Amino acid sequence: MKLIGIDTGGTFTDFVLFDQGKLQIHKVLSTPHAPEKAILQGIAELGLNPAELKVVHGSTVATNAALEGKGVRTVYIGNHGLADLLTIGRQTRAELYNLNPQPLPPPVPQALCLETHGRLAADGSVITPLTEKDLNDLQAALVTLKPQAVAVNMLFSYLDDRFEHAIKSIIPDGIFCALSSEVLPEIKEYERGIATWLNAWIGPLVEGYIQRLSAGLPEATIAVMQSTGETIAADQAAHQAVRMLLSGPAGGLVGAHFAGRASGDNQLLSFDMGGTSTDVALVDGTPSLTHEGRIGRYPVAVPMVDMHTIGAGGGSIATLNAGGMLQVGPESAGANPGPACYGQGGKHPTVTDANLILGRLRADAFLGGQMVLDRSAAQQAIAPLATQMKISHEAAAEGIIQIANEHMVQALRVISVQRGVDPREFTLVSFGGAGGLHVCALAEALGMQQALVPVHAGVLSALGMLVAQPGRQLSRTHLGLLLEMKSRKLTQAFDALATEGITALIAEGVAADSIQSRYSVDLRYHGQSYTLNVPWCAIAESAKAFERQHESRYGHRMSVPVELVNLRVALHGSATTIQLTPPNQNANGSAYSHGSVYGIDDEISIYCRDDLICEQTIHGPALITEKVATTWLASHWRCQQDSVGNLLLNHQRR
């Protein structure tokens, strides 16, 4: 079968086709109102037969619905006295010193929060049973409320899930149901409740999208990227929407790791700049996962790649605020109408318009010449802004770029400097359609001396879909003092989790003998609230590993018993083997054109990336164009194309 990776972004939908050892790339404008339409359009334009396709794609349906607050009507069911659990939360404030914070609407309106019996104690014993009357009352309430989804979050459901399943049995057909014992069987009822509610709130939207896509590609094999950077069969993903919140960005991080490893570099600071947003992450060896992620204002305790996202992209709109100060984003022109230079009716100046005005984007080299940019439309969009600022169009455009860069630099500092990591020891990897235009400026601002622009950087997230492994991340709380645990019972608990995940992977066609597993545990000192994750070896060895990690992280150990909190099992099958091919051996390596760039006195050379020779060195300032991206090589930078086609950039000290 032919394998195709698809990344559905806010502005463009990217395609990377792997067929008979060769890669083919393609882009179409996204259709945010119905993302599957852009996917079907791209597959048709590539002339592909769906019956011959295995599709791996990243979807923004879950992300956009959560960020925009456009989930479905959802009822939340909890124990008596805990209907307002999600509203109270952790009682933390977004602005600590703001004495008059703006009230925020609760996740679930009070009228949609239901309480019932069926309460367990911390040891799993029953305090109050769940009776037939309770179930009948719930069923009657659901008939009255008419929800599209139901989230069930009972206390200590990770110890005994019978009450949650009893409630599920009375929910009318056609209503999406999420149980906390299935979504996140861990302690911390608020985090577990939010994950369960999110899964129910956006689940019908994801389910509907996958059904429409499957109907459009009836004979194709379809998989979806999870937030962990692993794939899952589409029919299984429909009921695990909360695990798709970073679906697209996770593909980019997998692609960045793949490209960096091909060039022999595993210490990466990545930034993925698309049309709507920029995602940044740190890779020290392999991409790391977090159980403390967030989507908007909500914590997301299911595993996801450790990433920071800001609203800065090529389509970010520039405006003047009430004080007359220039600001860029987070509002974006998106795919429709898009930046003014796209010629689709956009009127607001964007980062893409600014790059075009400065000469860093070539009007005739966008999307390989398939889409000619309208420079006069960009000038008209930026003119009112320049007039208000009493500066030239070019100076206004440069200001837009500088502010957008500062937003991204700050995001990169959050993921590195604020975590005690010196970015100067890493390589800055830029990708996404707009990343190469800003890579040199960001690296200089962080004091970094080297950067990497991967091959197919403009569609790297889609390439990441191709090389991602099918996998599962499973967990379950198993609370108690570690040294008092029995090894046999822990082994049985680990094996039960592994069996659950292996069964799911085999069901989607993964060969049993290819599945690899990794066991780990969340540990803490008794009395602490937060945990550290360490590999599982044996009881004593894991306890020592925790103490070493605690000392490394916090600078001290404690003479307090170590407590086991969660068991974790990571499973993955084999990824598709893709070899990046060497650059074109028949290339001539010469510039195909020359042009002017604002702020540069002399004309600069413009190269086509496909024409570069292996190990060819280019000195900035220069432009390197390709079908899906452009790289601006600033002054005092040089780049060399390596044996797999990646561009290695180095800063030359002045």
Q: Is residue 299 part of a domain?
A: yes
The predicted pLDDT at position 565 comes to 97
Question: What total number of domains does the chain contain?
Answer: 5
The predicted pLDDT at position 301 comes to 94
**Domain boundary residue, one of 206, 232, 257:** 206
Residue listed under structure tokens 């007039």: 387
Q: What is the CATH number of the domain that holds 296?
A: 3.30.420.40
Assess whether pLDDT exceeds 90 at residue 338.
no
What is the band of 20 on the pLDDT scale with cuts at 50, 70, 90?
confident
Q: Is residue 378 part of a domain?
A: yes
Q: Which residues pair with 342 in a beta bridge?
A: none
Residue 8 near residue 40 (C-beta atoms within 8 A): no
Exposure b/e, 470-502, CB count within 10 A at least 16 = b: bbbbbbbbbeeebeeeeeeebeeebeebbeebb
d(CA 271, CA 460): 11
Q: Is residue 238 part of a domain?
A: no
Alpha helical stretches, state H, 308-467: 351-357, 375-389, 393-415, 439-445, 460-467
Q: Which helix (H) or strand (E) holds 506?
A: helix 487-507
Q: What is the CATH number of the domain that holds 86?
A: 3.40.50
**What amino acid is encoded at 379 in this protein?**
Q
Which of left, alpha, beta for 108 (phi over 0: left; psi -120 to 50: alpha)? beta
Query: What is the rounded average pLDDT for all residues in the chain?
Result: 92
Q: Could you tell me the residue range of the domain that residue 89 belongs to?
A: 67-206
CA-based end-to-end distance of the chain: 52
d(CA 195, CA 207): 17
Residue with the larger pLDDT of the pair 262 and 334 = 262
Q: Do 416 and 390 lie in a common domain?
A: no
Of the candidates 637, 634, 635, the residue with the CA atom closest to the CA atom of residue 652: 637
Longest CA pairwise span in the chain (Å): 83
518-538: pLDDT as tens digits: 999 999 999 999 999 999 999
Q: Do 130 and 191 lie in a common domain?
A: yes
Q: Do 461 and 475 lie in a common domain?
A: no
Q: Do 181 and 289 lie in a common domain?
A: no
Task: Give the CA-trace dihedral at 593, 594, 595, 597, to 10 degrees.
Answer: 120
Task: Give the CA-trace dihedral at 315, 62, 7, 457, to 10 degrees.
Answer: 60
Q: Do 430 and 459 lie in a common domain?
A: yes
**Mean per-residue pLDDT, 127-156:** 97
259-313: pLDDT as tens digits: 999 999 999 999 999 877 888 999 999 899 999 988 888 999 999 999 988 878 8
Q: Is residue 173 part of a domain?
A: yes
Q: Do 455 and 397 lie in a common domain?
A: no
The predicted pLDDT at position 96 comes to 83
Q: Is residue 380 part of a domain?
A: yes
User: pTM of the prediction?
Assistant: 0.89
The predicted pLDDT at position 580 comes to 82
What is the band of 431 on the pLDDT scale with cuts at 50, 70, 90?
very high
Residue listed under structure tokens 């396709």: 53
Q: Do 568 and 518 lie in a common domain?
A: yes
201-229: pLDDT as tens digits: 999 999 999 999 999 999 999 999 999 99
The predicted pLDDT at position 32 comes to 82
The predicted pLDDT at position 654 comes to 61
49-103: pLDDT as tens digits: 999 999 999 988 888 788 778 899 999 999 999 999 999 998 887 788 888 888 8
Assess whether pLDDT exceeds 90 at residue 18.
yes
- 9-13, 457-461, 558-562: lowest mean pLDDT where? 9-13
Share of the chain above pLDDT 70, in %: 99
Q: Do 410 and 397 lie in a common domain?
A: no
Assess whether pLDDT exceeds 70 at residue 194.
yes
**Domain boundary residue, one of 572, 606, 638:** 572
**Mean per-residue pLDDT, 621-650:** 93
d(CA 535, CA 132): 44
Q: Do 277 and 411 lie in a common domain?
A: yes
Q: Is residue 40 part of a domain?
A: no
**Mean per-residue pLDDT, 309-328:** 88
Assess whether pLDDT exceeds 90 at residue 178.
yes
Q: Is residue 560 part of a domain?
A: yes
Residue 71 near residue 205 (C-beta atoms within 8 A): yes
Q: Do 100 and 176 lie in a common domain?
A: yes
- 33-42, 118-127, 257-266, 645-654: lowest mean pLDDT where? 645-654
Q: Do 155 and 293 lie in a common domain?
A: no
Of the candidates 110, 115, 144, 111, the residue with the CA atom closest to the CA atom of residue 128: 115
477-498: pLDDT as tens digits: 999 999 999 999 999 999 999 9
What is the band of 553 on the pLDDT scale with cuts at 50, 70, 90?
confident
**Domain boundary residue, one of 416, 441, 466:** 466
d(CA 491, CA 635): 59
The predicted pLDDT at position 185 comes to 97
Strands (DSSP E) found in 508-561: 516-525, 532-535
**What amino acid is encoded at 626 in this protein?**
E
The predicted pLDDT at position 33 comes to 84
The predicted pLDDT at position 295 comes to 86
Residue 461 near residue 272 (C-beta atoms within 8 A): yes
Q: Is residue 296 part of a domain?
A: yes
Q: Do 386 and 252 lie in a common domain?
A: no
